Chains A and B, each alone.
Chain A
Amino acid sequence: MPSPSDGRMAWSMRHGAYWLAILPAVAMLAVLYLVPLADVLVTSVTDPRLGLDNYALLLTSTSVQKTLLTTLRIAALTTFITLLLGYAVAYAMRAASTGQQRLMLFCVLLPFWISVLVRSFAWIALLGSRGPVNAGLMAWGIIDEPLPLVRNETGLLIGMVHVMLPYAVLTLYANMRGIDVRLVAAARSLGASRFQAFRMVFLPLTRPGLIGAGTLVFILSLGFYVTPALLGGGKVLMIAEYVAVQINDTLRWGLGTMLAGTLMLSVLAALWALSRVVDVKRLFGA
């Protein structure tokens, strides 16, 4: 018969082995991620001299403020459009047959296998003034002049929503799959129309999914670099590109690292605020 101490030893051996297994990954993260990150934060308060001068720019520099506002606006718009489209796709997936579901899931995941760079260039080709979209619209006589679809905010939003959609669809779909469809049937049997059953029962139950997907998309959108750089055409400057300019071109490392730090702290603050409202662990499937 095993004694309690035997059990404890087995426990520690079992769990000790698991800790050993994740040790290389933890060590790599610490060296390659946490150390440089600390360096970034330190640089932001030491370059060019010790103090919070760089952070004061948040309040004084109009170009910094403009970039931050643009970033927030683009991220918010991207989140809104992505949630709207993603909700429709996830809803359709939920209602589809198993075979169709598999096909739809495949199509949703497909963009993940193509680099963001390639996708951005594809959008430039598609949306350009001589691209197939404008050519088609002109051929049908819907427009006379090519629409400015790319190298501006419209193109940027199209590209960002495209990248973000899979995240929103997967999060929303996971949430919707957990909803008992019989609840909607019950609502109908109690006298609710299709729309009432959706608005009063289904939609409120997808609230955690909407919050989760919204947070995920918003946070990821804040740090976008490649898509704004290519599809924004230099007209829409988001924070990541602004940081890159400070690091690579103007060599104002203090300003660049301050913005990177601000971005990171904002994201952490947003997550913390969210955790006050909903169970974040459950939201992201932990």
Chain B
Amino acid sequence: MVPPVSEPLVRFVNVRKSYDGTVDAVRALDLEVARSEFLTLLGPSGSGKTTTLTMLAGFERPTEGRILIDGEDVTDVPVEKRGIGMVFQNYALFPNMTVAENIAFPLRVRSVSRAETASKVARALSMVRLDGFGDRKPQQLSGGQQQRVAVARALVFEPRLILLDEPLGALDRQLREQMQYELKHLHQRLDVTMVYVTHDQVEAMTMSDRVAVFSTGALRQVAEPRRLYEAPASLFVARFLGESNALAATVKRPDDGRCLATLATGEAVTATMPTACAAGAAVHLVVRPEKILLGQAAQAAPNRFAARIAEVTFLGDQTRLRLAAFGADDFIVKLANTAGQASFAPGAEIDIGWQTEDCRALAE
């Protein structure tokens, strides 16, 4: 039976995993992966993202809950029967085999005929732009080439799902960026479902259709990268993805998705409030550094305050200012270095401001 198109490819149903019986590595996890989706599991180390991937791969069994693939309960299906391609952080290429033999491995264990294997291996090699490298040993390739072999090996048997466990972690920055786009384009071309684990938020943003943010064993938010960045549901997500200014405040007057809040230093701020809080609730007001208006531009903003420049850092395409404001000196502003951008000097007084919709009041 072909499941309906709307049926997600993967479903975690109330999954919990505990290795030692006392601490939960993952808890109360409900997560769906849509067909053809590129989903990234993002979080710091120990957040449960890798445990989630290992359970999906079949290396670990959930302590509680079920995992479904294509509507079929695979919780007790062994690794090799799940039909999932996997790419490991250290590539895990077999050093006793050539590149072609490595890629042919999943076909060999499935008893695919010689002729079919040869043509599929050749196609996989050209897919990752390694034509002619089939006879080399993995040790003779660069890190980026080895990673491409690992990818080819994971997709050569046309699995319904490909899992990638921090596959770019060992590469240098430039190569990593290049590989991000390569993987993204491969995903678009092959129309395959990929689940990707990383702790690098830029990587997650670059490649993913959706990002699932984990921390301390719990799934915090799943959303498209842009939504995650601009409408974080919690202070953790706001802080983990990009930089944020977070000001502790108390809600004074909630008003249908917005609120008026006061800071500890007395200033009144208007902000959007995604989840309703009663008057008197403690919240954090979160503003992205690039949403801050300065000088003349701040005049028209509903939130407007005085600040003093503490530090100016030139970063090439942008300038980063550290301001003394609201009783502290860690308020960050980022400005694109567009043509005609004014210059700033430390010690100068400056007006800052922001729009109500650029500031979010998030409960603790």
Question: Which of B57, B90, B95, B109 has a CB less than 8 Å from the CB of A191?
Answer: B109
Any A CB within 8 A of the CB of B94: yes
Looking at A180, A191, A192, the one whose CB has the most chain B CB atoms below 10 A away is A191
The stretch from B78-86, B122-130, B180-188, B259-267 touching chain A is B78-86
A189 touching B109, Cβ below 8 Å: no
Interface string of A173-184 (1 = CB under 8 A from B): 000000010110
A182 touching B88, Cβ below 8 Å: yes
Interface string of B65-100 (1 = CB under 8 A from A): 000000000000001100111101010101110000
The stretch from A14-22, A58-66, A142-150, A200-208 touching chain B is A200-208
B79 touching A189, Cβ below 8 Å: yes
B99-128, CB < 8 A from A? 105-106, 108-110
Contact flag A200-B109 (CB < 8 Å), given A189-B79, A191-B157: yes
Question: Which of B88, B108, B110, B157 has a CB less than 8 Å from the CB of A186?
Answer: B88
Smallest Cβ distance from A218 to chain B, in angstroms?
24
Residues of chain B within 8 A (CB-CB) of A192 are 80, 105, 109
Residues of chain B within 8 A (CB-CB) of A200 are 105, 108-109
B106 touching A205, Cβ below 8 Å: no
B139-179, CB < 8 A from A? 153-154, 157, 163
User: Considering only CB atoms, which chain A residue lies closest to B105 in the complex?
Assistant: A190
B95 touching A205, Cβ below 8 Å: yes
User: Considering only CB atoms, which chain A residue lies closest to B157 in the complex?
Assistant: A191
Interface string of A200-239 (1 = CB under 8 A from B): 1100110100000000000000000000000000000000
Looking at A182, A188, A207, the one whose CB has the most chain B CB atoms below 10 A away is A188
CA distance A104 to B120 in the complex (A): 46
CA distance A187 to B109 in the complex (A): 9
CA distance A205 to B93 in the complex (A): 12
Residues of chain B within 8 A (CB-CB) of A185 are 59, 79, 88, 92
CA distance A204 to B96 in the complex (A): 7
Give the secondary structure class of A's interface. helix
A186 touching B92, Cβ below 8 Å: yes
CA distance A110 to B83 in the complex (A): 47
Residues of chain B within 8 A (CB-CB) of A188 are 59, 79-80
Smallest Cβ distance from A178 to chain B, in angstroms?
11
Any B CB within 8 A of the CB of A100: no
A191 touching B110, Cβ below 8 Å: yes
B94 touching A201, Cβ below 8 Å: yes
Looking at B85, B94, B163, the one whose CB has the most chain A CB atoms below 10 A away is B94
B80 touching A189, Cβ below 8 Å: yes
CA distance A180 to B96 in the complex (A): 12
CA distance A242 to B157 in the complex (A): 62
Smallest Cβ distance from B94 to chain A, in angstroms?
6
User: Considering only CB atoms, which chain B residue lies closest to A194 in the complex?
Assistant: B80
Any B CB within 8 A of the CB of A196: yes
B90 touching A190, Cβ below 8 Å: no
B contact residues, total (Cβ < 8 Å): 24
CA distance A204 to B84 in the complex (A): 25
B106 touching A191, Cβ below 8 Å: yes
Smallest Cβ distance from A202 to chain B, in angstroms?
10
Residues of chain A within 8 A (CB-CB) of B83 are 191
Contact flag A201-B90 (CB < 8 Å), given A190-B105, A190-B153: no
Contact flag A183-B94 (CB < 8 Å), given A189-B84, A191-B106, A193-B80: yes
Looking at A180, A190, A205, the one whose CB has the most chain B CB atoms below 10 A away is A190
A191 touching B94, Cβ below 8 Å: no
CA distance A283 to B109 in the complex (A): 31
Question: Which of A190, A196, A201 has a CB less than 8 Å from the CB of B96?
Answer: A201
CA distance A192 to B108 in the complex (A): 9
Smallest Cβ distance from A110 to chain B, in angstroms?
34
Smallest Cβ distance from A94 to chain B, in angstroms?
17
CA distance A193 to B90 in the complex (A): 22
B57 touching A189, Cβ below 8 Å: yes
Residues of chain B within 8 A (CB-CB) of A196 are 109
User: Considering only CB atoms, which chain A residue lies closest to B110 in the complex?
Assistant: A191
CA distance A268 to B157 in the complex (A): 49
CA distance A187 to B85 in the complex (A): 10
Smallest Cβ distance from A114 to chain B, in angstroms?
38
Question: Which of A182, A205, A207 has a CB less than 8 Å from the CB of B90?
Answer: A182
User: Considering only CB atoms, which chain A residue lies closest to B92 in the complex?
Assistant: A186
User: Considering only CB atoms, which chain B residue lies closest to A204 in the complex?
Assistant: B96
B110 touching A183, Cβ below 8 Å: no
CA distance A70 to B84 in the complex (A): 54
CA distance A205 to B138 in the complex (A): 14
Residues of chain A within 8 A (CB-CB) of B94 are 183, 186-187, 201
Closest A-B pairs by Cβ, 9 of them: A186-B92, A189-B86, A190-B106, A204-B96, A192-B109, A188-B79, A191-B109, A191-B80, A182-B92
11 A/B residue pairs, CB under 8 Å, sorted by A: A180-B92, A183-B92, A186-B94, A189-B57, A190-B106, A191-B80, A191-B109, A191-B110, A192-B80, A201-B94, A205-B96
Other CB < 8 Å A-B pairs besides A189-B86, A190-B106, 8 of them?
A: A182-B88, A183-B92, A185-B92, A186-B94, A187-B105, A189-B59, A191-B83, A192-B105
